[in-house]
Structure 1
Amino acid sequence: MCIECLKLPPLHRHCDLPAKIVIMASEASSSKGEFDIYQTYRKILDDEEMSPPLAAILSLSQLMVESNAGTMFELVKELHDGAEELKRHTTNPISLNAGCELFIAFVTLFPHESDSFAELKTELVKQGQKYAKEAISYRNKIAELMLDFIKDDSVILTHSYSRVVMRALLHAHKTKRISVYVTEARPRGLGVKTHEVLTAVGIPCTVVLDSAVAYVMDKVDFVLVGSEAVVESGGLINAVGSNQMAIIAKAAHKPFYALAESYKFHRLFPLSQYDLPTHNPSILSFPSLPPRPFVTPPTTSGVSPPIAKSGIDESLNVTPTSSSERSMSAEMTAKNPDVDYTRPDLISLVFSDVGILTPEAISQYLVAMFAG
C-alpha cells in the first residue's frame, strides 16, 4: 500500500504525506522496533504548515500501520491509548484533541464490506492518509470563501499568527489592496511574525499593542482571527486576547470573523474561561506571601507615619526598578493562560472548508459529523 501511495502525484510541496509519514515512523521507532507515537507527532510538526490536529491524525494512522490488533475493539483501544499518550505530553491539547476525536470517530463509524480485519485495517489507514492529504487544501478553500468579504482598501485587524488567516490575507493580496493591523500577542509575540511575513510580500502592516485594541478598533473594517478549536456552542478557542478583541469589536459594531478548518471542530461545551481543558489552579493565582509583622500604631493622634519622598512607605523597604527592568518574569508569564474562549454571540461568522457558518450552525454540524 505504501508503494502505491508513493506513486501518487503531489498536489503541492506539503501534500506527499504518505511518503513523509513512512519516513518519520521509521525514524521514531526505537532500537527495539517499538513505535513511538509522540516522537512521530513531533517530527510531523517540524513542518511549519502542519497543524496539531492533522499531525495527530497522521500519527494515529501510522499507529494503525504498526498495530498488531486482531479485532476492531483492540484497535480502537490502541487508538484511545495513543491519543492519551499525545495529550499527556502536551500542555495545550485542545486542537490535538479535536484531531484525535475526529479520527477515532471516523474509524469507529467507517462503513465497510471487508472480508477480513486485515483488509479493513489497510483500508482505514489508506482513508486516514487520504483525508490528511486532502485536508492540506482546506486553507485554500477557506481563503476563497473569505475573498468575497474582503473589499478593496479593506483595513483588517488580526491577532497573533494563524496559518489559515495568513493564507486568506495572502490570497486577497493577489487581487485587492488591503492593510493589516496585528496585535503583538504577548507573551510569545507571534504578531511580529505576522508583520514580517505580510511586510515581505508588500502588504502594509502595523503591530499594535495588546492593550491598544480598543484604540485601533475604529480604524478597521473587521476583525479576522484563526482558531485552535471551534466548540459545540459555536464559540471559539484561540490565542489569549481573542476574547477581548471580540468584546471590543461587538461594542464598536465591527464584524468579528473566525477562520477554522473542519478538523478543528471540537465536541467541547465550555461555559466560561475556567471550563477550558487548559485551565488549572496555578493560572492567575496569587503568590503565597509571608505574614506581615504586627506594627504598633502611633500613640500620638493626628500624626501620620513618615512617607518617603518617592511616595512609598519606607517600612515596605521597596527598591524601585528601572524602566528597562520593568517586564514580566518567566514565573509571571507562566501564571497566565495561553488561550481563551470567545462566546458565540460575539462571533459574526465562521469560515470553514464546509462553508460559511453561523455560530448556531456549528452545533448542528458537529452532531451530524459525529453521528456518522
Structure 2
Amino acid sequence: MGEGTGSSVVREPNNYKKGEVPPTTTAQSQAINKYSVEYIVRSGIAGGVSGSCAKTLIAPLDRIKILFQTSNPHYTKYTGSLVGLVEAAKHIWINDGIRGFYQGHSVTLIRIFPYAAIKFVAYEQVRNLLIPSSNYEVPWRRILSGSLAGLCSVFVTYPLDLLRVRLAYVTEHKSKVRLIDFIRAIYHEPASTTLTSRRYIPKWFAHWCNFYRGYCPTVLGMIPYAGVSFFAHDCLHDLLRIPLCAPYTVIKISEQEKDRRSQQNQRTPLTTWAELGAGGLAGMASQTAAYPFEIIRRRLQVSTLTATNAHEHKFQSIGGIARIIYKERGWRGFFVGLSIGYIKVTPMVACSFFVYERMKWHLGI
C-alpha cells in the first residue's frame, strides 16, 4: 500500500507536459486581489466593452427616444404609441438614411466606454468595501453600491452625454454637422445666473458649467437607476442559482474547471438565456424608477434649442422644467417614451450585463 501511494505521487507530474503543473497550483489559479491595479484594469476593460456593445445595439432606438423626450417639433406627432415609433423610424430613414439612426453615436462611444468602465470598476470596489462578506449582504448595501458607482461614472462623462443629446436632437442639416461647433455653441450659451451673480466665480467657469445642464436631475435619476439596476441583477442572479433552478440556469463545466475557478473566487456563469433575462428585467425595473428624472434631464439639455424668446433662453431650473412638462401633458408627460424606453433598455442592459459577466469569466476576475 505504501509503495503504491508513493509510486502514484512520483508519477503524477508525468501526466502534464514539460513545464506544466496542475491548474490548481498555477499563478493563474490564484484569486486576483480586487483592490489591485490588475483587477481594476481588467474589470474596466470588461465594463467598457460591455457598455459599447450595448449602446451600439440600441443606438437607433436611442435616437428616436431622445427626439421624443425632448419634444422635437418634427416628431411630437409620433409620440405615445408603438405605431408612432415605426413612423418616426420611417421619417428618419427617408430624410437621413441609415446614418440618421446613428447620428451622434461616435460621441456616444467616446462617452460610453469610460462611463461603463468607471461604473463597473466603481461598483466592484464600492461593493467590496460595503459588502466584505456574505454577512453584509443586505438590500440597502447593494443599492447604495450601485448608486455610488453610477454617480462616479456620470460625473466624469456627463459633458459627452450632453453633446450626444444635442447631436441627436438636430434634424435639419443646412450644413455638415461638426462637433466643435456644438462645443462652441454650448460654451457661449447664457450661463446660470446663480453662478454669474457670484463675483468670486470666474466667468469662464460659469460658461463651462453649461456642459452640465441637466446634471442635477441626472444625479437624482442615477441614484435609483444604477442602484435598482445592480440590486435587481444581483437578486435575480441569486434566485437563478438556487438548487431548484441551477440545473437549468447555470452553465455546466467540468469539476476540474470548477475547482480552478473557485480558487479565483469566480462563480460559474449563468446560461445565455438566464443572464440575458436577468439583465433585461433589471433594466426594466431601473428604467421605471428613474424615468421622470431622465425626462427632466433631456429637456434641460436642449432647453436653449427649444427656447422661443429671451426669457426661455435663460438657464432653466429643475423645478421650472418640471412645471413646464406638467403644464404641457400632466403627470403622463414625465413618462413620455417609456414604452420605447423599455424596448431600448431591456436589450441594452441585458447585453451589457451579459458581455460584462462573460468578459469577467474569460479575463479570470
- Using the size of structure 2 for normalisation, the TM-score is 0.25
TM-score, structure 1 length as denominator? 0.25
Q: Does 1 or 2 have the higher relative contact order (CA < 8 Å, sep 6+)? A: 2
